[in-house]
């Protein structure tokens, strides 16, 4: 019962300008959708691969991020009794004190706008607790030397963070440190950071406290017990699973997804009108042809289907084009300022299967919504009237 | 009383415009035997096209009966009429109504798409139909690459490709010069005499009408006159 696709396809080229404009509009919608979603996917991917289920992160009660948390030495001392903490080969408990500060570093690229990059002061145990951190270039910093290592994402995104580069740390910016190593951390948030010896930061920032303490557990299943102990009167700090901490930070991505949905929704409505406009013109220009098809026996449904298919052809092609364009930004490094930590998280834009499905669904909806009214008009064409006016 | 006689009894067709009744056909009776070739003449606005549309199941009478073969068109729903048209009638229009984006062969193939039929068989039928109208070598031409007469031939091929019993033509030569008209009329005569098609053709041109077997005159809503034509040999002047 259906008219051949070639019929629909060729008809699209009869009204080249109108078809082209509609194609462009839908392409832009799909492109914006794909880019915004790949932002969200990139951030989500980065944060969801951050942290370990075997770690608990301890902050000052009421703090939601390391940057606003202060843990003084007495409090830290009380943590050593936490039950279930794993021990390293040397028998020491795997408890990592970490100081979290930030420094301003210009981004790579022509604008060189400065970004707040996180600097984490760590001791040896940090590398046992955060065992996903792995050096991929250079070497570890030497205790006591003015040396730092940097995450892979940070190196790619910010200036002077390549091996051998120099950055200024300290309250007065007067400690020039050299980058001696680059690390990765399964794509997680640490890769956006600079890691320095804890003592160096104590000194440079005149601090006596740390921001957070990370504890590695021997048995992740018993995390509840450890968390309860830390939260209880014995320590009186606030503990949570490290993975939960990063999941909370990624709330931002949900915001992006919501905003994306609203924005793309509005654009989609506009695009549907553009499609409808094109299809109305097509229907009105082909009234006699429709009448002829009805005369030789094509039912209304075939006529309707023909115009819906035409609209979907434009929109599918536009979907492919929009996604194709979005692949150009795929993998490029961006960063965003986390509202929770006030530091930047560098991540890769990612076009994922989810983006693909969302783009197809959007283009399909636009195509269907735009085609409905014109296709109905086409199906209702008065055959005799249209023939008579020939 | 063979298969596809056309019988209209006491057919009335009234159009309404702003509550105003516009009677077009008023108690019309008509009988066309299977295998006949009838020309329908009459002043402009007399209802010739309306009558043709009723016979072809494109429209239904306000009252009265329209029977084509076994089908009682006045009783059928729009959906039934649509399906019936695809099997039993071929239409030819003054303006050809070919689809500009399709080739001649694809235009002719259109009615066959409504049938379950292997593509090979469809191609074969299209080839035969185009051969009958003498355009077997123009399969891949687009309508804008054809002359008016050739376009009308393609339209005729499209009308016969499903092998209907009845062919309805509304001023098929109205847009063509005399020589081309004559060729088209030859073709219609051939379809009538060789292939046994029953043909009803609306025309303003007495010379065209003279090529049919008989001419009916429609005036003031009824058929008021009829002439029989001596069998003119195919190809005789127009
Ligand atoms: N939908 C309609 N509404 C109102 N009047 C109509 C409608 N369709 C046709 N008519 C009227 O019916 C009458 C017959 O029309 P029809 O097209 O059948 O005439 P015709 O004999 O084919 O004329 P022509 O030789 O010009 O083609 C005309 O007066 C026309 O105005
Ligand atoms: Mg007419």
Q: How many CA atoms lie within 13 A of B201 on its CB side?
A: 34
- Number of A to B CB contacts under 8 A, please give it: 67
Strands A194-197 and A114-122: parallel
Least confident residue range of A329-333, B78-82, B100-104:
A329-333
How many domains, chain A?
2
Q: Name, in order, each residue with C-beta under 8 angstroms of A68's C-beta and a sequence gap of 6 or more.
A: A60
pLDDT, tens digit, 9 for 90 and up, residues A374-388: 999 999 999 999 988
| CB spacing of A298 vs B87 below 8 angstroms | no
**What Å distances lie between residue B238 and A68, B133, B148, CA to CA?**
102, 19, 18
Residue B173 and residue B152: Cα distance in Å, rounded?
8
Look at residue A130 in the predicted model and tell me its pLDDT: 95
Angle between helix axes A353-379 and A251-285 (nearest 10 degrees) is 30
Strands B63-68 and A212-216: unpaired
Least confident residue range of A209-223, A246-260, A277-291, A357-371:
A246-260
Do A233 and A265 sit in the same domain of this protein?
Answer: no
Do A210 and A275 sit in the same domain of this protein?
Answer: no
Do A67 and A40 sit in the same domain of this protein?
Answer: no
| CB spacing of B106 vs A7 below 8 angstroms | yes
Do A242 and A257 sit in the same domain of this protein?
Answer: no
- Dihedral sign, Cα of residue A344, residue A349, residue A352, residue A358: positive
Query: What ranges do the domains of chain B cover?
Result: 35-58+87-228
Domain boundary residue among A203, A232, A248?
Answer: A248
The superfamily CATH assigns to domain B35-58+87-228 is: P-loop containing nucleotide triphosphate hydrolases (3.40.50.300)
Domain boundary residue among A248, A281, A311?
Answer: A248
Over chain A, what is the mean pLDDT? 90
Closest CA to B96 of B24, B204, B175, B34: B175
Look at residue A13 in the predicted model and tell me its pLDDT: 85
pLDDT at A321 over 50: yes
pLDDT at B235 over 50: no
Look at residue B236 in the predicted model and tell me its pLDDT: 42
| Angle in degrees, CA A211, A212, A218, rounded to 5 | 165
Do A244 and A255 sit in the same domain of this protein?
Answer: no
Residue A349 and residue A364: Cα distance in Å, rounded?
24
Domain that holds residue A380: 5-48+251-388
Look at residue B238 in the predicted model and tell me its pLDDT: 39
Look at residue A341 in the predicted model and tell me its pLDDT: 65
Do A275 and A373 sit in the same domain of this protein?
Answer: yes
Look at residue A8 in the predicted model and tell me its pLDDT: 87
Query: Best of B14, B46, B56, B218 to mutate for ligand 1, by most ligand atoms within 8 A of CB?
Result: B46
Q: Cα torsion at B94, B99, B105, B106 (round to 10°)?
A: -140
Do A259 and A311 sit in the same domain of this protein?
Answer: yes
The predicted model gives A317-326 an average pLDDT of 94
pLDDT, tens digit, 9 for 90 and up, residues A155-195: 998 999 999 999 999 988 889 999 999 999 988 889 999 99
Residues belonging to chain B with any Cβ–Cβ distance to chain A shorter than 8 Å? 49, 53, 56, 58-59, 79, 82-83, 85-87, 91, 93-95, 97, 99-102, 106, 110-111, 113-114, 158
The predicted model gives A100-117 an average pLDDT of 88
pLDDT at A1 over 60: no
Residue A269 and residue A271: Cα distance in Å, rounded?
5
pLDDT at A249 over 80: no
The predicted model gives A369-378 an average pLDDT of 96
Domain boundary residue among A248, A272, A290?
Answer: A248
Look at residue A127 in the predicted model and tell me its pLDDT: 95
pLDDT, tens digit, 9 for 90 and up, residues A38-93: 888 887 787 878 888 899 999 999 888 888 899 999 999 999 889 999 998 888 89
Do A128 and A230 sit in the same domain of this protein?
Answer: yes
**Beta carbons of B111 and A20 less than 8 angstroms apart:** no
Q: How far is A278 from chain B (nearest CA, A)?
A: 18
Do A19 and A158 sit in the same domain of this protein?
Answer: no
**What Å distances lie between residue A211 and A64, A65, A308, CA to CA?**
11, 9, 60
pLDDT, tens digit, 9 for 90 and up, residues A251-277: 766 777 788 889 889 999 999 999 999
pLDDT, tens digit, 9 for 90 and up, residues A202-212: 999 999 899 99
Do A198 and A240 sit in the same domain of this protein?
Answer: yes
Chain B residues with CB under 8 Å of A6 CB are: 102, 106
Do A218 and A78 sit in the same domain of this protein?
Answer: yes
pLDDT, tens digit, 9 for 90 and up, residues A334-362: 776 666 666 677 777 778 888 899 999 99
pLDDT at B213 over 90: yes
Structure tokens at B227: 């002439």
Residue A25 and residue A311: Cα distance in Å, rounded?
13
Do A83 and A155 sit in the same domain of this protein?
Answer: yes
């Amino acid at each position: 019962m259906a008219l051949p696709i070639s019929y629909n396809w060729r008809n699209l080229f009869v009204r080249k300008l109108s078809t082209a404009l509609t194609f462009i509009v839908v392409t832009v919608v799909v492109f914006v959708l794909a880019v915004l979603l790949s932002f969200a996917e990139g951030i989500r991917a980065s944060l969801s691969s951050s942290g370990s289920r075997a770690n608990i992160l301890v902050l000052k009660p009421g703090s939601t991020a390391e940057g606003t948390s202060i843990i003084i030495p007495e409090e830290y001392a009380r943590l050593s009794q936490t039950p279930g903490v794993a021990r390293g080969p040397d028998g020491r408990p795997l408890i990592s004190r970490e100081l979290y500060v930030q420094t301003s570093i210009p981004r790579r690229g022509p604008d060189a706008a400065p970004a707040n990059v996180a600097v984490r002061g760590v001791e040896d145990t940090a590398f046992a607790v955060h065992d996903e951190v792995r050096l991929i270039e250079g070497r570890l910093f030497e205790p006591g030397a003015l040396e730092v290592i940097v995450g892979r994402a940070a190196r790619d995104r910010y200036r002077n963070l390549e091996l051998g580069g120099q950055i200024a740390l300290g309250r007065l910016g007067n400690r020039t440190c050299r980058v001696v190593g680059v690390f990765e951390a399964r794509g997680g948030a640490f890769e956006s950071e600079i890691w320095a010896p804890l003592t160096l930061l104590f000194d440079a920032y005149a601090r006596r406290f740390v921001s957070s303490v990370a504890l590695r557990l021997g048995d992740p299943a018993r995390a509840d017990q450890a968390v309860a102990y830390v939260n209880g009167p014995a320590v009186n700090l606030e503990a949570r699973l490290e993975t939960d901490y990063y999941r909370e930070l990624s709330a931002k991505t949900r915001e992006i997804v919501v905003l994306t949905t609203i924005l793309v929704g509005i654009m989609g409505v506009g695009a549907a009108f553009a499609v409808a406009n094109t299809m109305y013109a097509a229907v009105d220009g082909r009234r006699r042809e429709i009448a002829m098809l009805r005369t030789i026996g094509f039912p209304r449904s075939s006529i309707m289907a023909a115009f819906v298919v035409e609209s979907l052809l434009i929109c599918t092609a536009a979907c492919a084009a929009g996604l194709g364009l979005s692949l150009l930004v795929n993998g490029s490094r961006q960063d965003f300022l986390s509202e929770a930590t006030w530091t930047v998280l560098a991540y890769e834009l990612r076009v994922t299967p989810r983006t693909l499905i969302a783009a197809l669904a959007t283009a399909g909806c636009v195509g269907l919504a735009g085609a409905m009214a014109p296709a109905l008009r086409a199906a209702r064409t008065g055959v005799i009237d249209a023939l008579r006016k020939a | 009383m063979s298969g596809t006689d056309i019988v209209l009894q006491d057919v009335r067709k009234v159009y309404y415009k702003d509550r105003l009744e516009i009677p077009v056909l008023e108690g019309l009776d008509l009988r066309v035997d299977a295998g006949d070739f009838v020309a329908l003449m009459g002043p402009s606005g007399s209802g010739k096209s309306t009558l043709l549309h009723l016979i072809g199941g494109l429209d239904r009478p306000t009252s009265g009966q329209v029977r084509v073969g076994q089908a009682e068109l006045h009783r059928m729903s729009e959906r039934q009429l649509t399906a019936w048209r695809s099997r039993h009638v071929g239409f030819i229009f003054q303006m050809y109504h070919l689809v500009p984006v399709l080739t001649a062969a694809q235009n002719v193939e259109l009615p066959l798409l409504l049938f379950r039929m292997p593509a090979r068989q469809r191609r074969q039928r299209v080839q035969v139909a185009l051969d009958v109208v003498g355009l077997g070598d123009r399969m891949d031409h687009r309508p804008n690459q054809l002359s008016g007469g050739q376009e009308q031939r393609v339209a005729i091929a499209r009308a016969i490709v499903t092998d209907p019993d009845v062919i309805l033509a509304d001023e098929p030569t109205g847009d063509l010069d005399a020589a081309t008209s004559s060729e088209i009329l030859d073709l219609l005569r051939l379809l009538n005499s060789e292939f046994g098609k029953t043909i009803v053709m609306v025309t303003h041109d007495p010379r065209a009408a003279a090529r049919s077997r008989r001419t009916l005159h429609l005036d003031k809503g009824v058929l008021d006159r009829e002439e029989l034509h001596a069998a003119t040999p195919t190809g005789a002047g127009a």
